[in-house]
Amino acid sequence: MCELFAMSSRVPSALSYSLNEFATHGGLTYGNKSGWGIAYFSDREALLVKEPEPAHNSPWVKFIAEQELKSRCVIAHVRHATVGEPSLQNTHPFRRELGGNVHVFAHNGTLAGLHQDFAGTPLRHEPIGATDSELAFCLLMERLRAVWNRADGEYPPLEERLAVFSAFAGEMAQRGSANFLYSDGDVLFAHAHKRIYEENGGYSTPRAPGLSVRNCVACQEGPEFACTGLKVGLGDQQTVLLASVPLGEVGWEPLPEGTVLALRGGLEVARQAT
């Protein structure tokens, strides 16, 4: 099914989330054949590259892997379409502006009844595509508007943003699998719920863990972290990684169902249950 990946680090890290693992999940052996996307934050902006094609033979994926782009926060997604056809407008991650910042969102799961229940609801940010994921993001942006309505242009207090995100994630989890990655450029928020796993040529019922985390501060053994398909320059800094499926056998912590994390600068600044 869909695969999520994210990184938070103290200083911009050279990251290659590349063809061996990312592209394999994007169409060679797994079922994620509907598209891929990756967002690299830089202060209040983000470079977003995505396409509605399998990643394994994409020249864009190859180009990105060769650049080793640097960022303090990265969100990536490979898609197996369940709601909305394979198209650019339905491909994750999604981005919107709020409070003078770019906000980026990606989702793994299906949220039943979302379009029916919120049909006709006036939103400042309207969905461009047909996915329940993008509509959920627009609903989150709507709930964050009051928090971000600041005359000083500063980031809202973490506690206020966390409260909105946690309540939103808990509500969405009542509709189905709700694994979310969301960043406003300052903090990377994640909600770990449950996901479908590919087993014995078929699919399981959704179960935890929906996300796993690796704290590279605790396990750093050299200048970089590397595993199949992933290389992250660590240097003398802190870095935290998130993934739908652990990218290696050591150092990954499965997150309990209903866990919300907030990461800033490669450090876990909040953890709570929805």
CB burial readout 106-130, b (16+ within 10 A) else e? bbbbbbeebeeebeeeeeebebebe
Specify the pLDDT at position 36.
86
H/E segment holding residue 77: strand 70-79
Query: Helices 158-172 and 132-148: crossing angle, nearest 10°?
Result: 150
Q: What is the CA radius of gyration of the chain?
A: 17
Please list the ranges in the chain whose pLDDT falls under 50. 19-20
Domain boundaries, the chain: 3-273
Q: What is the strand order of the sheet 188-192 is part of?
A: 94-98, 101-108, 179-183, 188-192, 259-264, 267-273
Question: What does the pLDDT read at residue 39?
Answer: 94
Phi-psi group of 75: left, alpha or beta (phi > 0 → left; psi -120 to 50 → alpha; rest → beta) = beta
Per DSSP, 43 falls in state: T
- Look at residue 19 in the predicted model and tell me its pLDDT: 42
Q: Are the C-beta atoms of 216 and 222 separated by less than 8 Å?
A: no
| 2 classed as catalytic | yes
The one catalytic residue in 2, 138, 216, 227 is 2
The gap between the terminal CA atoms of the chain, to the nearest Å, is 24
Whole-number pLDDT of residue 211: 96
pTM for this model (two decimals): 0.91
Task: Please tell us whether the domain made up of 3-273 is placed in CATH 3.60.20.10.
Answer: yes
Q: Which two tokens stand for residue 82?
A: 């369940």
What's the rounded Cα separation, in Å, for the pair 105 and 140? 10
- Both tokens assigned to 165: 């995100």
